[in-house]
Amino acid sequence: MNKFTKAHIFLKKNIQQIEMDKDQEQKLVFRIADLIRENTNLSNQLKELTDNYQQLSQKADRFENILSSLPPDLIPKEIEGQKTRTQRFEMATVLYADIQGLKKISEQSKSSEIIDELDQIFFHFNSIVKKFKIEKIKTIGDAYMCAGGVPEKNITNPVDVVLAALEMQDYLNNLKEEYENQNKNFWDLKMGIHTGPVTATFTGRKKISYELKGDTVNIATRMASASEEGQINISIMTYELVKQYFTCDYNGKIPVKYKGDMEMYFLKRIKPAYSLDRKIGKTPNNIFMNKYLLRQFTDLQEIILDKLEKELPTHLYYHNFKHTIDVINQAELIGYGEGVDDESILLLKTAALFHDAGHIIGYDEHEYSGTQIAREFLPNYKYTPEQIENICKLIMATRLPPKPENILESIMCDSDLDYLGRSDFIPVSNTLYKELKEQNKIGTLNDWNKIQVKFLSVHQFFTKTAQHLREVNKQMQIERIKKLIEED
């Protein structure tokens, strides 16, 4: 075979290989195109399934709401007992308590005595959990789990759970001391706490049981495992939410799946400045509670504003939930301007929240009705009887004409009538005229303007802060309204 023939064969093979490569490349392009189409179809199917799931979830929620409103005797037996609902909570605090020492105790006690002792401990834990409005989730052998922020969402749940943990620890330490005096072994406690999102499943109607799922539960158990006997180990997330109130010691880091290394802290006590028993640090004092209630006010405000929005009559164009928000904000602003303390700010904001709530009951004497609603709600939010009484006095101080008897009542009156010195006075006052007109409590707009001039001329702001912010502008409003009055 000559060189020419060999070259020809080699060239021919290369051409065939190139053609084969082109063919494979074209097949690969077609395959990629098919995969793109397939991926698009799958994406569309996923979107459709997601939409369907959301629609079904909404229908299920509506069904559950209808079902929960029905009398028990109207609920079919096949549905009764199968009622299960799942809800996600963006911020819950899970406590996992792992009781130690079973082996030591079993050497001295009968199994029945051990069970009785454990039942006694869990029974007391249940009373602590109830006291702090935390939900017991379950007990597993010698482990106990509870959670704050479930089933009712609240912003204070990290503090609630930490306070409960300190009380559990104190209870078990006292029992341990009694047993040691009798030369008997007793239980030790390792606790872990973590704050984060959870998914809760609710089962049952009369007696509801809860099951929690999610990383927050797993991390709480990891915190307990990484703790030491007699210690409460909290995650960095919980620490950041409670460090203002509690003394904590750094306890290193622990690896957490998908989250990297997580810092931990041993919870020691309430800070001395916030503790009634300054040496021990287990009981909150008034300073602590006032800060706690100010923090909790966000939850209370959300509930009451929602109630106002749903239940206030539609003809209240001025005395609506927007006015309530304005008065809350102004009460806080003037309060700080006048230099009052945290408890006074709490009382002012709470009174402002309820001061027009009585319109739900009736227009006339709405201030008194507002105090009745406040007396109904506030005991459930840890307000003391004395605080509730002072809040009701502040609400009653908003009756016209204003006659405040102390600095807090002066702040309250100035906050309620703050609009008199604002630049939007005329449009706001027109909403009040419209409100009164629909109830046949006022005549013409011209009559209303005359009343406004008379009222503004004798009105005075009582606090230096309000006088500085609003008095000059109020005088300008008088001149503006005078120009609108038509002479008879």
What is the CATH classification number for the domain harbouring 239? 3.30.70.1230
Assigned domain for 412 exists? yes
pLDDT band at 66 (very low <50, low <70, confident <90, very high): low
Q: How far from chain centre, in Å, is Cα 253?
A: 28
Structure tokens at 308: 């106002």
The per-residue b/e assignment along 228-258, b for 16 or more CB within 10 angstroms, e otherwise, is eeebbbbbbbbbebbeebbbbeebeebebee
Give the model's pLDDT for residue 18. 61
DSSP codes joined into one string, 452-471: HHHHHHH----SHHHHHHHH
Task: Identify any residues that bridge with 232 across adjacent strands, giving them in sequence order.
Answer: 191, 267
The pTM assigned to this predicted structure is 0.78
Cα–Cα distance measured from residue 365 to residue 358, given in angstroms and rounded to the nearest whole number: 8
Domain co-membership, 338 together with 464: yes
The answer, yes or no, to whether residue 276 has pLDDT greater than 70, is yes
Domain co-membership, 205 together with 305: no
Average pLDDT over residues 306-319: 95
Structure tokens at 295: 């923090």
**Do residues 230 and 188 lie in contact, with contact meaning Cβ atoms separated by under 8 Å?**
yes
Assigned domain for 14 exists? no
Average pLDDT over residues 348-353: 98
DSSP codes joined into one string, 104-146: HHHTTS-HHHHHHHHHHHHHHHHHHHHHTT-EEEEEETTEEEE
Average pLDDT over residues 253-258: 87
Cα–Cα distance measured from residue 56 to residue 60, given in angstroms and rounded to the nearest whole number: 6
Assigned domain for 374 exists? yes
The answer, yes or no, to whether residue 329 has pLDDT greater than 90, is yes
pLDDT band at 175 (very low <50, low <70, confident <90, very high): confident
The per-residue b/e assignment along 354-376, b for 16 or more CB within 10 angstroms, e otherwise, is bbbbbbbeebeebbebbbebbbe
Task: Identify any residues that bridge with 139 across adjacent strands, giving them in sequence order.
Answer: 144
Taking every pair of Cα atoms in the chain, the longest distance, rounded to a whole number of angstroms, is 128
Task: Identify any residues that bridge with 136 across adjacent strands, giving them in sequence order.
Answer: 146
User: At residue 419, what are phi and psi to the nearest 5 degrees?
Assistant: -65, -20
- Residue 360 sits in a domain whose CATH number is 1.10.3210.10
Structure tokens at 328: 């809350």
Residues with Cβ within 8 Å of 169's Cβ and at least 6 positions away in sequence, in order, are 189, 191, 230, 232
- Among residues 284, 305, 337, which one ends one of the domains? 284
Q: How far from chain centre, in Å, is Cα 426?
A: 37
Assigned domain for 105 exists? yes
Closest residue by Cα to residue 238 from 164, 168, 158: 158
pLDDT band at 52 (very low <50, low <70, confident <90, very high): low
Structure tokens at 299: 């939850």
Percentage of the chain with pLDDT > 90?
Answer: 61
Closest residue by Cα to residue 274 from 243, 237, 309, 300: 243
The gap between the terminal CA atoms of the chain, to the nearest Å, is 128
Domain, as residue range, for 418: 290-484
- Among residues 256, 284, 312, which one ends one of the domains? 284
Domain co-membership, 168 together with 222: yes
Domain co-membership, 166 together with 257: yes
Average pLDDT over residues 361-370: 95
Domain co-membership, 369 together with 251: no
Q: Is residue 39 helix, strand or coil?
A: helix
Mean pLDDT comparison of 73-82, 128-137, 203-212, highest-scoring range: 128-137
Assigned domain for 213 exists? yes
Domain co-membership, 237 together with 325: no
pLDDT digits 0-9 by tens, 367-400: 999 999 999 999 999 999 999 999 999 999 999 9
**Do residues 165 and 146 lie in contact, with contact meaning Cβ atoms separated by under 8 Å?**
no
Domain co-membership, 327 together with 377: yes
| Lowest model confidence (mean pLDDT) among 28-32, 88-92, 158-162, 466-470 | 28-32
The answer, yes or no, to whether residue 78 has pLDDT greater than 70, is no
Assigned domain for 44 exists? no
Domain co-membership, 144 together with 273: yes
Structure tokens at 195: 């704050």
For tokens 């309620």, the residue is 416
Residues with Cβ within 8 Å of 436's Cβ and at least 6 positions away in sequence, in order, are 442, 448
Mean pLDDT comparison of 20-34, 92-106, 394-408, highest-scoring range: 394-408
Assigned domain for 168 exists? yes
Domain co-membership, 280 together with 298: no
Structure tokens at 244: 């203002």
Assigned domain for 45 exists? no
**Residue 146: C-alpha distances to residues 42, 93, 101, 204 (Å):** 41, 8, 21, 18
Domain co-membership, 274 together with 373: no
The per-residue b/e assignment along 150-171, b for 16 or more CB within 10 angstroms, e otherwise, is beeebebbbbbbbbbbbbbbeb
Domain co-membership, 367 together with 470: yes
Give the model's pLDDT for residue 242. 97
Q: Is residue 84 helix, strand or coil?
A: strand
- Among residues 241, 268, 284, which one ends one of the domains? 284
Domain co-membership, 108 together with 229: yes
The answer, yes or no, to whether residue 359 has pLDDT greater than 60, is yes
The tally of domains found in the chain comes to 2
Closest residue by Cα to residue 350 from 424, 411, 281, 419: 411
The answer, yes or no, to whether residue 303 has pLDDT greater than 60, is yes
Give the model's pLDDT for residue 116. 79
Cα–Cα distance measured from residue 192 to residue 161, given in angstroms and rounded to the nearest whole number: 11
